[in-house]
Amino acid sequence: MVAPLKVGIAGLGTVGAEVVRLIERQGRNLAVRCGRGVKVVAVTARSKAKKRGLDLRGIAWAKNALDLAGDPNIDCFVELMGGSGDPALSAIEAALKSGKSVVTANKALIASHGLRLAKSAEQHGGALNFEAAVGAAIPIIKTLREGLAATDIDRVYGILNGTCNYILTRMEQEGLSFDECLKDAQRLGYAEANPSFDVDGHDTAQKLAILASLAFGTKVAQSAVYVEGISSIAPEDLRAAEQLGYRVKLLGVAVRTTKGIEQRVHPTMVLKSSAIAQVMGVTNAVTIDGRGIPPITLVGPGAGGAATASAVVADIADIARGIRVEPFGRPLAQLRKTTKAPMERHEGGYYIRLMARDLAGTAAAIATRLAEQKISIESIVQRHADGVDANSKAGKAAPVPVILITYATSEDAVYRALHAVQRDKVISGRPQVIRIEKN
């Protein structure tokens, strides 16, 4: 009989507690599938007295994560505490240096210190698995790292934050404002009391940095990701998108270009007919464009105790089977350095919403400025606000929404044209610009 894999878990919150339950519940299946059993032998958390609904009898309680990481009685250290630094960082490093394998769901830590930890895993022979760090139950890490090892990937993009997708879904379906939907997301527990990390795009950026490394063989670099959140999106943008055949999503996009690897997070218009546009509510999705194969889209729950625990236990199962792959799919020495791609060089289509002054010559002025930058317009829609008589004196004086969809152009050209339009004083307020992602 092969001895069971002895697991130590640091962190017994929602995910950690569910991992303990799942290993207990699936113990027999895991033994059959892995060729050996999996057993939780030690745990640690901030409070030993907290009621968790777990039977921890027969399981040792370590004083802290560092002590657990150094425990010679465990083979696999599972970090579920969170945070981009200590104590998680020191504990994982200690476990790796002692030859143990490590499983973590900590996207912040992998995005910030993944290379450092991968080096330690490489030097000391342990595995470093982090499937649950991106997309929870969606097996995107394994797909990029192993399933598509023989495929050249041109682009990976997706909905990587359920909070933002929930807000945009509610805004679209019910015509509510961003602030109204955010408050509801907080009430339901989908958004934190301080939601900026999610709605400003930083959560998505951390996940995208990890995916880009796996897809393109680059060093993880969150600083190389351009980040823009969703707070500027208004109900009128979602209504316009609907009428034009689009839907607005917060996407993380990493794409191979002639200028290098472009990594960006921002609100994006996608065709309603695309697979990614069908993903609503708190659900996540990732699409992979690889050479020689049709696009692959993986959809599933991107957060939550059960979904995250399932990915954590799958990583533990790989270790029990004796499977060890390079954390980022390649030896560390083969990962290339990446730099932040200037968004001014980004090329694609654009949605532009202007509040144009209802005066003679306004349309001509806008058209002239766009033409100067060689921007071609695919469609233009001009409408008076609901309830305003276009022939009345008041109607003529009020700003009129003008919506433009451009053919592919550069970001720099778009903003040069819009700055010129603002100098001409033919529009009021700040133009709304949303990039369009080609599907």
| Cα dihedral 52/55/58/63 (nearest 10) | 0
- DSSP 8-state class, residue 53: S
- DSSP 8-state class, residue 218: B
Q: How far apart (Å, rounded) are the C-alpha atoms in residues 81 and 13?
A: 8
Angle at 203 between CA 201 and CA 208, to 5 degrees: 90
Amino acid at 67: D
Q: How far apart (Å, rounded) are the C-alpha atoms in residues 174 and 183?
A: 14
Q: Judging by DSSP bridges, how do beta strands 283-290 and 296-301 pair with one another? A: antiparallel
- Three-state SS for 283? strand
Enumerate the H helices of 219-288 as residue ranges.
235-244
**Contact criterion met (CB below 8 Å) for 105 and 312:** yes
Work out the angle between the directed axes of helices 88-97 and 107-124 (0-180°, nearest 10).
20
Enumerate helices (H) and strands (E) in the chain, giving the number of each: 15, 17
Nearest to 273 by CA among 155, 439, 404, 405: 439
- Three-state SS for 393? helix
Q: How far apart (Å, rounded) are the C-alpha atoms in residues 414 and 326?
A: 42
Q: Catalogue the active-site residues.
A: 207
87: preceding bond cis by omega (within 30 degrees): yes
Within the chain, what is the greatest distance between any pair of CA atoms? Answer: 89
Give the N- to C-terminal CA distance of the chain in Å, as an integer: 52
Amino acid at 39: K
Q: How far apart (Å, rounded) are the C-alpha atoms in residues 111 and 134?
A: 11
Q: How far apart (Å, rounded) are the C-alpha atoms in residues 27 and 21?
A: 10
| Cα dihedral 276/279/282/283 (nearest 10) | -80
Q: Which residues of 196-215 are buried (b: 16+ CB within 10 A; e: fewer)?
A: ebbbbbbbbbbbbbbbbbbb
